[in-house]
Chains A and B, each alone.
Chain A
Amino acid sequence: MSKVIKIKRGLDIKLKGSAEKVIVDAGQSGFYAVKPPDFLGITPKLLVKPGREVKTGTPLFYDKHQPSVLFVSPVTGTVSAVNRGARRRILEVVVQVADSQVYEPLRKADPRGLSSEEITEQILHAGLWPAIIQRPYGIIAEPGTRPRSVFISGFDSVPLGPDYELILRDEKDSFAAGIEALKKLTDGSVHLGLPAGATASKVYDRLEGVSVHYFTGPHPAGNVGIQIHHVAPINKGEVVWTVSPQHVALIGRTFLLGHLDPTWIVAVAGSMISRPRYFRTLMGTGVQPLLHKNLREGEVSPRVISGNVLTGTSVGTEGYLGFYDSLLSVIPEGDHYELFGWAMPGLKKFSASRAFFSYLQPRREWDLDTNLHGGQRAFVLSGQYEKVLPMDILPVQLLKSILAEDIDKMEQLGIYEVVEEDMALCEFVCTSKIEVQEILRQGLDILRKEMS
């Protein structure tokens, strides 16, 4: 199955500050954290208190709804704080790192020789089960169940997206081991989506028993949801599991080494970064060492986003990297007024429409800030979302059925196939500044409650 799938709709947003393709070691962070809000739909139950000594891989909390899903410490040290927010919701479990690292022991074996139960057990104990996301809903997969298939997108088309060829260049064996482990968890195939022209990949070639698909076209061609839609769309009742490439390698490493190795490579990019590069660090690192002597000084304050500019979370300069994020995007805040801004020719204003003269510079890199550019309005224009959603789904009708809480319509219109990242571009281009991703999440939550 090596034909190229052309993604025709979408939008590439070229931002300034893409990371140079070098990896350097990050400074040591004093603190590392695991953040329950990273994981959709879980209710954390703590297993530790501040002061407790932990090793790398010691469970910190588990999910109340699925107690076998553990969330573990990425470093050896002492639990320093459990930070809570409104209504005592746990925001962060923070560990102060010790000088030497000790690991919780796991099984060291070739996944090809293990049963699916043994593999599931290993991944759960390693605290890496949360890396496996299920569709529909985009929540952590249910251990013990078997999905129709497993999909991995080998590339990221988001603005400033990290290059996985670079991140995994020394991880070929780990990645292959991870693939072997995942193969055992499904009776269907493991699919890998790659950019067309990646036939000379060092990491991804000669993987056995994997269906490879090649994609060209603008973002969201790298989104696993889009790739699934074009290869084997999810129907009602079907479940597909997805894992990010770096997590696949991490899973593989636990089998090769016999313990959790939390080494994590993150691209630090964006126009507010002086030297955008890739940093080698550990999972859950504080972002301070990544920003140290790396932030542009000036009048404008930075927005530090764990993840990409379309779907990431704002963590601030003292926050921690999210579990799923191989990218830290830092862009300027846009809290400024502009006189007659809406009437200006707009050479510097990026738009998907041709309503500004910025379209005269197609090859330019843009320094976009966080300004909303308008106030929220009702749905007025039509045809905008369809231009950036390469799926056979009617986006506005789907969103309206969610707002009307019409469960049958939501199902019929294909809500099972999408999660927020697939419709993030719709939110970007929306003239009426409608909160598309939030509405979609509400719909998915309504449906999940209905189905349980």
Chain B
Amino acid sequence: MKANHLRKLVDRIKPPFEKGGKLGMFLSTFEAFETFLFTPKTVTVKGTHIRDSIDMKRTMGIVVLATLPALIFGMLNVGYWHYQAVGELVPFWSWQGVWFGFLKVFPIIVVSYVVGLGIEFGVAQVRGHEVNEGYLVTGMLIPLILPVDTPLWMVALAVAFTVVFGKEVFGGTGMNIFNPALLARVFLFFAFPAYMSGDRVWIAGMIKGHGIVDGFSGATPLAEAAAHHIDKMPGAMDMFLGITPGSIGETSTVAILIGAAILIYTGIASWKIMISGIAGALLMGGLLNIFGGDNPYFAIPFWQHLIMGGFAFGIVFMATDPVSAAQTEKGKWIYGFLVGFMAILIRVLNPAFPEGVMLAILLMNVFAPLIDHYVVQANIRRRLKRVKTVTPMKS
């Protein structure tokens, strides 16, 4: 049985890695690979004798699975728009396109995981802990929210920044205040703005400018809307399907919805945050419609905001990060609603930030503990009120 042979092999090479052994300093790294291959044989010692089969690896694995539709679509999209920009009109679903997209996207993913996991493994070893699985998801999310031509050294820098200052400094997985993927993005946004916004960053090859068709615009739907070029915006179906320029994984609402379905069905992400986020966005869009006057940006139909820009990706994959979101069930409704509301508000009303989702989520990350605090206070007050209403008569 192949599994048995593999297990025996692992058992044979394990001893030097154990505590006190010659290679003991690499125990965390060894165990990370060992538990990737084999679920451990540890049995329960205290507390319940039986346990749910689920563990962190399975949970993180399912989240990565949920991002795959957006990833695959993103590769197709990158290829399609590149060829559009240089004048070779390939159809959307083409091998040439997806291969180009793969060659552009794959290195970013590799850099993200190598740098991120490298730092995580090192920190785990120094602390003497098992490597935590949190970065398995962050490592996939970071490439999906970046413009395709982001230089690889910038990706590495952003990953290092977020893993060290966004996570490990606070105590590792489970302790971070901010969404780590968004922290990487916001770092790049403020450190290298020319590479993160404008009309030339979203389509591969446009920054360098070789062979670009005259007059070709690489503007995203959001950019066109912000410049009041409503007529130049793509149609609603194109935006829903995602055949528009944008960051690698954010354009296709359809692909993101498939991911959302997987996350909601398995019970891994909070549907409350997603639904209330959509409600908040719709409300803000509606208010803009009503009070917008002549401004054509305000007049964009309130529902259209859901399929433009990074809203869908943000509300499904980013706002739902359990550690940085509100952690009480009631708090999640408020948190999600405010994320959606603020995202559209920042997007439309603030000329400096064409996309508001990232900042809205980071802002609400700061307020999530406050929201939870009030939910906890309400619980406490309910309990205290019970003491007061219990009459001197015994029950």
Contact = CB atoms under 8 A, between A and B. Distances in A.
B39 A424 contact: no
B173 A338 contact: no
Given A314-B49, A380-B323, A412-B383, A340 B37 contact: yes
B237 interface: no
B370 to A, nearest CB: 14
Contact of B56 (A351, A382, A432): A432
A312 B37 CA distance: 32
A445 interface: no
A189 B395 CA distance: 7
A342 B171 CA distance: 25
Given A350-B52, A377-B173, A342 B39 contact: yes
B303 to A, nearest CB: 28
Interface residues of A, number: 81
Contacts, number: 215
Interface stretch (A109-117, A260-268, A364-372): A364-372
A343 B44 CA distance: 21
A381 interface: yes
Contacts of B323: 380
A352 B265 CA distance: 12
A305 interface: yes
Given A350-B52, A370-B44, A235 B387 contact: yes
A372 B47 contact: no
Contacts of A238: 390
B132 to A, nearest CB: 6
Interface stretch (A82-90, A161-169, A281-289, A353-361): A353-361
Among B51, B173, B323, B383, the most chain A Cβ lie within 10 Å of the Cβ of B51
B38 A371 contact: no
Chain B interface extent, by class: 35 or more
Interface in A234-248: 235-238
A429 interface: yes
Contact of A369 (B40, B50, B57, B171): B50
A232 interface: yes
B51 A386 contact: no
B394 interface: yes
A333 B53 CA distance: 15
B43 A334 contact: yes
A334 B52 CA distance: 13
Contact of A435 (B46, B55, B387): B46
B395 A372 contact: no
B386 to A, nearest CB: 6
A187 B58 contact: no
Nearest to B131: A375
B7 to A, nearest CB: 6
Contact of A333 (B43, B62, B266): B43
Contact of B46 (A343, A374, A438): A438
B317 to A, nearest CB: 15
Interface string B36-72: 0111111110111111111111110110000000000
Nearest to A336: B41
Nearest to B56: A377
Interface of B: 3, 6-7, 35, 37-44, 46-59, 61-62, 130, 132-134, 171-175, 265-268, 270, 322-323, 325, 327-329, 332, 372, 375-376, 379-380, 382-384, 386-387, 390, 394-395
9 contacts: A188-B394, A337-B41, A352-B52, A358-B53, A375-B130, A413-B376, A428-B48, A431-B54, A435-B46
Interface of A: 13, 148-149, 159, 186-189, 232-233, 235-238, 303, 305, 309-312, 314, 329, 331, 333-343, 346, 349-356, 358, 368-375, 377-383, 386, 392-394, 396-397, 412-414, 420, 424, 427-433, 435-438
Given A427-B48, A433-B51, 4 more contacts: A329-B49, A380-B173, A412-B380, A427-B47
Closest 9 CB pairs of A and B: A374-B55, A378-B174, A341-B39, A349-B53, A188-B394, A342-B57, A382-B327, A337-B38, A339-B3
